[in-house]
A and B are shown apart, each in its own frame.
Chain A
Amino acid sequence: MRVDRRAFKGYATGYLFILPAILIIGLFYIYPSINLIPMSLRKYNLLRGLDAAEFIGLRNYVKIIGDGEFWNAFKNSFVFAVVVIPVQTTIALVMATFVNNKAKFAPVFRTVFFVPVIISFVVVSVFWKQILDPHFGLANSLLSLFGIPPQGYLIDPSQAMASVIFVSIWKSWGWFMIIFLAGLQGIPRQLYESASIDGASKIRVFFAITIPMIRRTILFVLVITTIDAIKIFAPVYIMTGGGPLERTDTVVHHVWKTAFRFNNMGYAAAMAVFLFLVVFAVTLFELRLNKRDY
């Protein structure tokens, strides 16, 4: 196919525009990610530097197999993902349907629900840590109004993970609501009109029209939520530091701790690569589901 000179010129300008983004992504995402692989094959102490690091083949990877600390973190991340994916997706979808109408108040709710999304996760974590403080936090003050005894939340080993999950969902669901909203608005009105002529109930319409029409959106949200959930870090680092009793130590937090507290960069890199492979496999599986449906 002959390339039209003028069209190419147009493309060149386009490439120029995305060049800064490509450079930044290449330098800060892709280059360090690729570098993880040689790092993971060495006994690399943060303080000694990579040049002094001895090549040890797959020893770091073998170590993962018998490392109870890692599997505890892996289990925590898994629990986090298994709870967050369905709960957050359901909330986002239901609320998107709720605000997807022409009622006067809908835009107000849309904005309110979206506010947590634009706040940094760090800020969200810091203020939820205050709210959930067992002695001075707002949460226990509210409970006491109803005569419920104070709860430990983040520092109670049995409630800590649930608290982190709650805060993460609170922060993130608004974003997925907006994505669902975009999906909902792409559904042709005629479908709803003919359904209402046929006398279908609201619930019937939701399951027979809405859901099938936004299947693709749902799968997209599932994939993104899965990846986000498995790599959760900020709220854990800020609110619990992985505790109490390592009940909230997630894989990425564990990787961070191994690298920057224990100076063991090589092993941390191996765990990061392993996590990448797991996330990659899960994502492939989810995309497969997509293919089968269409």
Chain B
Amino acid sequence: MKRITFVVIIAGFLTLPLFATGTQEAGAGEQASTPGGEVTVLTFQYGEDSTAQRAIDTILEEFYEVHPDIDVSFVNVPYNEYESRLKISFASGDPHDVVWMDAPNIASYAEQGVLHPLDEFWSSDDFGDLVQSARNAMRYDGSIWAAPLNEANVCVWYNKDLTDAAGLYPPNSLDDAWTWDEFYEAAAALTETDASGQVEVYGVLPAMGAPVAVHEGITFTVVQWVWQAGGQVLSSDGRQAEGHFNSDAVVEALSYYQRFFTEGLAPLQDISSGFETGKIAMYVTGPWQLGYMRSSYPEFNLGITPLPVGKEGASPTGSWNLGITANSDNKPAAWEVIHALTGREGAAIWSNTTNDIPARQSAFEGSPMFEPDQPLSIVREQLLTNGRPRPVTPVYPQVSEYLSRAFNDVAFGEDPRETADKYAAMMQDAIDEYFGQ
């Protein structure tokens, strides 16, 4: 019996969502004009007093006044299990009405037919309020499939106390952005070692986390090195990794990234709150941590400078988006929920509360955080100037994992050329297998 226990894990995973969604059929009735009934929303487990949860609560409070007949219930899943839980709920054929999706996955979900197109709900005027990168990300195959909760981008955050002490003044506009060499030299200048050679302050953490983990956050914060070196992860049609992920440009990006770690300017291990507590001087990451930092480290002297510019300037875009599932039996009400959370008003509340970058021009304009003299104005400028979406492919999960692992592996000293070849081949296998070659 024991030898097949592992199957139970699979069986358990498969059946859990069935129980979780078992009740959703009831109440979703035959509404005609004004939407009502029950809408279930699959989303993350935001912390109880997180800014995101506060934003949702604020928006819903108003929502219930306008739509007393719609009953919204949230199914909260821990962040690192979210993606598999979402897929299982799709696979069960009885998914939730509204789901959260990461931008690069929209295309593959749309292609698998598990999403309902939103064209009938969007007015073109309202859709035009989205920033360009978000508009691109929502479209696939001639339809609109999702509504963005917010945008995202990556900058270099720095500890002003440490840069001041080192006599370093990072650029504060995109035009003056560091070159790769200048960024490297800044990291070297900010690294401090004690008498015995132990590192006391690391110059930089050049990704969202140390190179020991594999998750979307790593991919999102390293992929710009590929683009900046003039390379791309996959061919534009998404069918070729060989010849792209193992191009000279990608090898150069991997070599550049590797130096920070092999020369001791960047930590190989995660240092919890290392940036906030001054153990890491610069941090390549996005504004999603800003809300937490402002509340937990109000004294922290934060500076933001654009990503360095290599052969070209480039920064990643695309965040979380809301869609309606194809099997939802209450689509009009589901749209009302999405619209409340991502419409002009909702988007403004969301980004003002969470400090996330809005995906709507109106929300940018109404927010004091993005005024030209504010540090976050750089994020806005960068997003609108050189933001790029992550590769679009139905095998994005594999591509993303292999991309993160390539960067992790070279940080631990693997040869960049061999690493690029290895993962390009693995990406290609996944693509070929999917398209049946």
Q: Are B6 and A32 in contact (CB under 8 A)?
A: no
From 244 to 294 in chain B, residues with beta carbon under 8 angstroms from any chain A beta carbon are 269-272
From 208 to 266 in chain A, residues with beta carbon under 8 angstroms from any chain B beta carbon are 224, 227-228, 231, 233, 241-246, 252, 255-256, 259-264
Q: Are B11 and A32 in contact (CB under 8 A)?
A: yes
Q: C-beta contact mask, B378-410 vs A, less than 8 Å → 1, else 0?
A: 000000000000000001011001000100110
Q: Are B405 and A43 in contact (CB under 8 A)?
A: no
- Interface flag for B118 (CB, 8 Å): no
Give Cα distance in the complex from A245 to B395, angstroms. Answer: 21
Q: Are B109 and A47 in contact (CB under 8 A)?
A: yes
Partner of B214, one of A228, A243, A252: A243
Give Cα distance in the complex from A260 to B2, angstroms. Answer: 22
- Interface flag for A2 (CB, 8 Å): no
Residues of chain B within 8 A of A233, CB atoms compared:
6, 9
Partner of B4, one of A29, A133, A246, A264: A29
Give Cα distance in the complex from A143 to B433, angstroms. Answer: 49
Residues of chain A within 8 A of B3, CB atoms compared:
227, 231, 276, 279-280, 283
Give Cα distance in the complex from A238 to B430, angstroms. Answer: 26
From 1 to 17 in chain B, residues with beta carbon under 8 angstroms from any chain A beta carbon are 1-15
Q: Are A245 and B7 in contact (CB under 8 A)?
A: no
- Interface flag for B34 (CB, 8 Å): no
- Interface flag for A184 (CB, 8 Å): no
Residues of chain B within 8 A of A224, CB atoms compared:
2
**Interface centre among B3, B398, B426, by most A CB within 10 Å?**
B3
Give Cα distance in the complex from A241 to B212, angstroms. Answer: 10
Q: Are A49 and B213 in contact (CB under 8 A)?
A: no
Q: Are A47 and B7 in contact (CB under 8 A)?
A: no
Q: Are A260 and B272 in contact (CB under 8 A)?
A: no
Partner of B7, one of A33, A49, A157, A227: A33
Q: Are B11 and A243 in contact (CB under 8 A)?
A: no
- Interface flag for B311 (CB, 8 Å): no
How many residues of chain B are within 8 Å of chain A by beta carbon?
Answer: 48
Residues of chain A within 8 A of B7, CB atoms compared:
29, 32-33, 36, 272
From 265 to 284 in chain A, residues with beta carbon under 8 angstroms from any chain B beta carbon are 272, 275-276, 279-280, 283
| Chain A residue nearest to B414 in the complex (CB) | A245
Residues of chain A within 8 A of B112, CB atoms compared:
45, 47-48
Residues of chain A within 8 A of B239, CB atoms compared:
none
| Chain A residue nearest to B87 in the complex (CB) | A46
Q: Are B6 and A272 in contact (CB under 8 A)?
A: yes
Partner of B395, one of A135, A244, A260, A262: A262
Q: C-beta contact mask, B1-45 vs A, less than 8 Å → 1, else 0?
A: 111111111111111000000000000000000000000000000
Q: Are B430 and A262 in contact (CB under 8 A)?
A: yes
Q: Are A244 and B87 in contact (CB under 8 A)?
A: no
Q: Are B408 and A244 in contact (CB under 8 A)?
A: yes
Q: Are B430 and A246 in contact (CB under 8 A)?
A: no
Give Cα distance in the complex from A178 to B212, angstroms. Answer: 38
Give Cα distance in the complex from A244 to B8, angstroms. Answer: 27
- Interface flag for B84 (CB, 8 Å): yes
B13 to chain A, nearest CB (A): 7
Partner of B1, one of A25, A43, A47, A48: A25
- Interface flag for A79 (CB, 8 Å): no
Q: Are A228 and B2 in contact (CB under 8 A)?
A: yes
From 127 to 178 in chain A, residues with beta carbon under 8 angstroms from any chain B beta carbon are 133-136, 152, 155-157
- Interface flag for B64 (CB, 8 Å): no
A49 to chain B, nearest CB (A): 6
- Interface flag for A17 (CB, 8 Å): no
Give Cα distance in the complex from A272 to B408, angstroms. Answer: 28
Q: Are B436 and A43 in contact (CB under 8 A)?
A: yes
- Interface flag for B88 (CB, 8 Å): yes
- Interface flag for A207 (CB, 8 Å): no
Q: Are B6 and A260 in contact (CB under 8 A)?
A: no
Give Cα distance in the complex from A243 to B93, angstroms. Answer: 33
Residues of chain B within 8 A of A43, CB atoms compared:
433, 436
Partner of B405, one of A36, A155, A246, A272: A246
Q: Are A260 and B212 in contact (CB under 8 A)?
A: no
Residues of chain B within 8 A of A133, CB atoms compared:
272
With known contacts A47-B91, A47-B112, A47-B114, A152–B269 Cβ distance under 8 A: yes
Q: Are A135 and B91 in contact (CB under 8 A)?
A: no
**Interface centre among B7, B14, B109, B434, by most A CB within 10 Å?**
B7
Partner of B269, one of A134, A260, A261, A263: A134
With known contacts A155-B210, A245-B408, A33–B2 Cβ distance under 8 A: no
Residues of chain A within 8 A of B14, CB atoms compared:
32
Give Cα distance in the complex from A48 to B401, angstroms. Answer: 21
Residues of chain B within 8 A of A227, CB atoms compared:
2-3
| Chain B residue nearest to A266 in the complex (CB) | B433
Residues of chain A within 8 A of B71, CB atoms compared:
none
- Interface flag for B90 (CB, 8 Å): yes
Can you offer 11 A-B residue contacts whose CB atoms are under 8 A?
A: A28-B8, A29-B8, A29-B11, A47-B114, A244-B211, A245-B405, A256-B10, A261-B397, A262-B397, A262-B430, A272-B7
Closest 6 CB pairs of A and B: A260-B84, A244-B212, A32-B11, A155-B212, A47-B112, A231-B6
